[in-house]
Structure 1
Amino acid sequence: MLLLLSPAKTLDYESPLPAPVFAAATEPLFADQASALIAVLRRKSVRQVAALMDLSPALAELNVARYAAWQLQADATNSRPALLAFAGDVYDGLQAATLGADDLAWAQQHLVMLSGLYGALRPLDLLQPYRLEMGTALKTRRGKDLYAWWGDRIAAHLNERQAKEVSPVVLNLASIEYARAARRKALRARVVDCVFEEVRPDGSARIISFFAKKARGMMARHAIARRATRPEDVLDFAAAGYAFDAAASAPERLVFRRRAET
């Protein structure tokens, strides 16, 4: 079973990392594709980048500088393993810095972080600072946006990784924006979504983005700790007060609920 996760806008290149993590680091599988996208982005001005991604002038300037500094060859001087570079709500929940070496090794084989720039990342793939959300309408020779750029490449990659599995499964913990890039119709695998809802005093339930993002990270950590190979392996997830709700769930949609914070 593969786990799909979204990346994060917030990046952490300041926290210290243990040396063994860099020793185990890997090269992104789609570095050449990323390099081609960087070439497109380098042709844009600060004002154009700001308009394209709805960024403030300061953020646009920062990312234009990032595109200029990006190199095809990543190393310890310009990058860090993706799982430890992404920050933000999802990764606050995952707490990757506290994972052991065995956990990271397992995650390397089972966790896939989707990315507008890199397509699909393994936890130990070296990530250089960037910002390029999957929903960005960046025009390239392949079409009007990044979905056109990546096409079926991400789905083909996932299929290749699960080629030897008789009944492949993908546990989707990614947002709609990123999960769309995996093109379900092109996948061999059965896709199972995890949904995290808050139950209000009147009994109604709804997804609140901030809490759902953090819960996706916590679920990813739970799946890593459990060495989950089937969706059934994560039904005992109970972090932060969540519990599996069988009545609200379906075979391809696992719903976890908790009482809403008041």
Structure 2
Amino acid sequence: MMILISCAKTMSDKATYNVPFTTTPIFKEYAIRESIELSERSTEELASMLYVNTDIALKNHLRYRDFLSEEPQPIPALFAYTGTVFRNINPKTLSQEDLAYAQDHLLITSFLYGLLRPFDTIKSYRLEGNVKLSENGGISMFDFWKNELTDLFIDLVNKNGGTLVYLASEEMKDLFHWKKVEKKINIIYPEFQVMKKDKLKTIVVYTKMCRGQMTKYILENRIENIDELKNFSWEGFTFNEERSKGNKFHFIFF
């Protein structure tokens, strides 16, 4: 069983945890090529491209400028991102065995690096899927990565049992030819909702927290059978058989 989660917009610029080993991103050369082009963009251009304010744009302008420098040193991806999902995985609390398992069963999307394993070392950056770079033929990052990632992704999942737990955001499907992916592997789509006034509502922050907690649950318990996934519970979110249909697993807080 494999897990897919999304990259986060927020990242750490300094390593705070010593890991037993590191690996090189599969598409590191693409990331270098793209970072060089982005380093040539002004702060104002980056602000427009990334839909951010001047302060964030300046921070990332400096990141891209220093992308090939020795400092700051790259950080393993699982520890580099600091968004809600990653805070709830809380990788520092995982055992060495859990982390080793994660390396083979967890994948992280990235607009700059394409697809990452937990111990792939990366530099901090910010990028959006609709950014178009001349180095990539002037097409969006979404369209650029489709041909590069789809078959690789399918192969990685099939080598690990052929089942994927999709815990990424909806937009990350656009990094792949998703219809082809769905035909080639078995995908489970967990959904996390809150019952309010007899209506189910999706609350983004709770969804992100649950995605992180479910990832942690799978890693710590070495979940390989999809039925075992139904045993996941966290802070009142539990599996609901009645509302779950097919490959959509509903976890509801009443």
Query: Could you say whether these structures have the same fold, taking a TM-score greater than 0.5 normalized by the shorter chain as the test?
Result: yes
Matches for 1:16-27 after TM superposition, within 5 Å: 16-18=16-18, 21=19, 23-27=20-24
Asked whether the 8 Å contact 1:184–1:191 carries over to 2, the reply is: no
Corresponding position: 1:229 with 2:217: no
Instruction: Specify which of 187, 190, 193 is matched with residue 194 of structure 1.
Output: 190
Asked whether the 8 Å contact 2:39–2:64 carries over to 1, the reply is: yes
Instruction: Specify which of 162, 166, 179 is matched with residue 168 of structure 1.
Output: 162
Give the secondary-structure state (helix, strand or coil) at the position aligned to 1:177: helix
Asked whether the 8 Å contact 2:14–2:73 carries over to 1, the reply is: no
What per-residue deviation string (whole Å, max 9, x for no partner) do you get for residues 87-111 of structure 1? 1211121111111110000000000
Asked whether the 8 Å contact 1:103–1:224 carries over to 2, the reply is: yes
Which residue in the other structure is 1:93 paired with? Answer: 88
Report the Cα distance in structure 2 between the residues aligned to 1:15 and 1:79, rounded to whole angstroms. Answer: 8
* Distance 1:252-1:163 versus aligned 2 partners, 3 A rule: closer
Taking structure 2 as the reference length, what is the TM-score of the superposition? 0.92
What stretches of structure 1 of length at least 5 have no aligned partner? none
* Distance 1:227-1:78 versus aligned 2 partners, 3 A rule: same
RMSD value over aligned CA atoms?
1.9
Instruction: Specify which of 101, 105, 109 is matched with residue 110 of structure 1.
Output: 105
Give the secondary-structure state (helix, strand or coil) at the position aligned to 1:152: helix
Report the Cα distance in structure 2 between the residues aligned to 1:70 and 1:24, rounded to whole angstroms. Answer: 22
Which residue in the other structure is 1:125 paired with? Answer: 120
Q: Percent identity?
A: 26
What per-residue deviation string (whole Å, max 9, x for no partner) do you get for residues 103-149 of structure 1? 0000000000000001110001101110113x333243434311111
Asked whether the 8 Å contact 2:192–2:207 carries over to 1, the reply is: yes
- Between stretches 212-221 and 33-42, larger displacement belongs to 33-42
What per-residue deviation string (whole Å, max 9, x for no partner) do you get for residues 167-221 of structure 1? 6111100001223313322322122211110111x21111111110111000100
Which residue in the other structure is 1:185 paired with? Answer: 179
Corresponding position: 1:61 with 2:58: yes
Asked whether the 8 Å contact 2:103–2:119 carries over to 1, the reply is: yes
Taking structure 1 as the reference length, what is the TM-score of the superposition? 0.89
Which residue in the other structure is 2:10 paired with? Answer: 10
* Distance 1:154-1:215 versus aligned 2 partners, 3 A rule: same
Asked whether the 8 Å contact 2:67–2:123 carries over to 1, the reply is: yes
What per-residue deviation string (whole Å, max 9, x for no partner) do you get for residues 53-89 of structure 1? 1111111011011111112x9x785111110111121
Report the Cα distance in structure 2 between the residues aligned to 1:76 and 1:47, rounded to whole angstroms. Answer: 25
